[in-house]
Structure 1
Amino acid sequence: MQLTVKILQGAECQLEVSESATVSMLKTLVESRLGVPRASQKLVFRGKTLQDDDTMTACRLTDGAKVFLGDADRFLAEFKKKFDQRLGSMSMDDIQRFCASNMTEF
């Protein structure tokens, strides 16, 4: 079957895999085509993160399906950058409220 793997806000590629291939095998193909290390890949289909040991069939992937790729390292770096920028613009009262809300109200 042919799958499309799309990096959020980035490139995409088409990959040919068998229905019995595992998500781990798919991640190896993604690494070779898109250059994203396997360890930092998070593959998502229909809102669910795909588990390494599951097969394409178990994940309900069919020919022509689109899988989204999150790069955990990139997301973490972007989050840290935005967090630092936001924190730098907060007053002490804002920081206190933020901490008191268990860091849910930013």
Structure 2
Amino acid sequence: MKITVKSLKGGSALIEVTEKTSIMEVKKLVEKDINIPAPQQTLVLFGKTLQDDKLVEDYPKIKDGTKIYVAIKKQESLHVVLNKFLRKYYSEDQCKLIVDEFMRNFQSKVHSLSLDDLERIAKSEMGQ
């Protein structure tokens, strides 16, 4: 079946799915067509968020020609992610000290990178 996925910021994709297609697979197809990274997508159908681990068949309202909307989640900063992780093990004051020191060290190391270093990192991340 073919469904349309529309971005709230503009752009749409017509994608082919089956009942056994997972919502995560739908997101990956949308990523290719609309260029929104799958982890940043929230797929919405009739006001309900579609869960990544479910299949298309788990949502009986998804039929041939259905329109699904994709909202873009704001990415959390490294600072926020570190703080959330550390809160499991440390107090709020300890987390603040650890995260602040980490960010100072991280920024110092990033600023010391040369253009060649950045190019080498980019190439290795792109699999070249």
Alignment of structure 1 residues 1-106 onto 2, 5 Å: 1-60=1-60, 61-73=62-74
Name the amino acid aligned to 2:48.
K
CA RMSD of aligned residues (A): 1.5
Name the amino acid aligned to 1:63.
D
Higher relative contact order (CA 8 A, sep 6+): 1
CA deviation map 1:46-81 (0-9, x unaligned): 11000001111101211110000001128x9xxxxx
Partner SS for 2:71: strand
CA deviation map 1:11-64 (0-9, x unaligned): 111000111100010001000111000111000001100000111110121111
Name the amino acid aligned to 1:71.
I
Partner SS for 1:68: strand
**Identity score, percent:** 36
With the length of structure 1 as denominator, give the TM-score of the two structures: 0.67
Higher helix share: 2
The number of equivalent residue pairs is: 75
- Consecutive unaligned residues of structure 2, counting only runs of 5 or more, are 77-128
1:103 counterpart residue number? none
Partner SS for 1:57: helix
Name the amino acid aligned to 1:54.
K
- Consecutive unaligned residues of structure 1, counting only runs of 5 or more, are 77-106
Q: Find runs of 4+ consecutive structure 1 residues off by over 2 angstroms.
A: none
* Rounded Cα–Cα distance in structure 2 between residues aligned with 1:51 and 1:59: 10
